[in-house]
Structure 1
């Protein structure tokens, strides 16, 4: 569900202190996008693209893959087959898994 190697890599790239800010920004931006996901006609593909990139950047592998699948469906003209509730549920599971181990990555050590 979570690519912990990617989490470790990102933390090393940005530094321990900046990593907490990256996580906060990620959570804020993703949750803002999820709140409006699919509500604006014609925006679902772009929203899923944004979520996919954000997810993979922080190692949310399963969530990112689901967003990629939805994005591909939109490109193929199958936007109606995308289930925003399933996307939100995948994020919630991924966030829960991430937060269960977050302390080891968010410490300034």
Structure 2
């Protein structure tokens, strides 16, 4: 679900203080985007939005969430909007976020 190696690498690259800021910004942006999707995003914006979510997730090690976004980004690209489960996208993000926040302090300190 979380690529802790990627998380540790990013933490080491930018330092703990800046890493905490990056995490906060990531969560704020993705929370807002997930809320926008839940409010009813037009189909023509889905591919771009899922691409953004995928990239953001990969940067912070949310590997399962990123994979799901990539899958549905391709569906949107093909116009197969009926194959996109936005509820599943939201659920994956929430589960990933919960695990990340619960395990981040001990995983990074290790």
Superposition deviation, residue 106 in structure 1: 6.9
Partner of 2:100: 98
TM-score by length of 1: 0.92
More helix by share: 2
TM-score by length of 2: 0.91
What is the CA deviation profile of residues 41-77 of structure 1, one whole-angstrom value per residue up to 9, with x for unaligned ones? 3100011000000001000000000000000001111
2:2, 2:44 → 1: CA distance? 30
Q: How many residues align?
A: 107
1:13, 1:79 → 2: CA distance? 38
2:30, 2:12 → 1: CA distance? 22
Superposition deviation, residue 86 in structure 1: 0.5
The residue correspondences of 1:18-57 to structure 2 (distance < 5 A) are 18-37=18-37, 39-57=41-59
SS at match of 2:43: coil
Instruction: List gaps (5 residues or longer) in structure 2.
Output: none
1:44, 1:72 → 2: CA distance? 10
Partner of 2:9: 9
Contact 1:16 1:106 in 2 (8 A): no
SS at match of 2:31: helix
Q: CA RMSD in A?
A: 1.5
Query: Which 4+ runs in 1 deviate beyond 3 A?
Result: 104-107
Instruction: List gaps (5 residues or longer) in structure 1.
Output: none
Partner of 2:71: 69
What is the CA deviation profile of residues 73-92 of structure 1, one whole-angstrom value per residue up to 9, with x for unaligned ones? 01111022211110000001
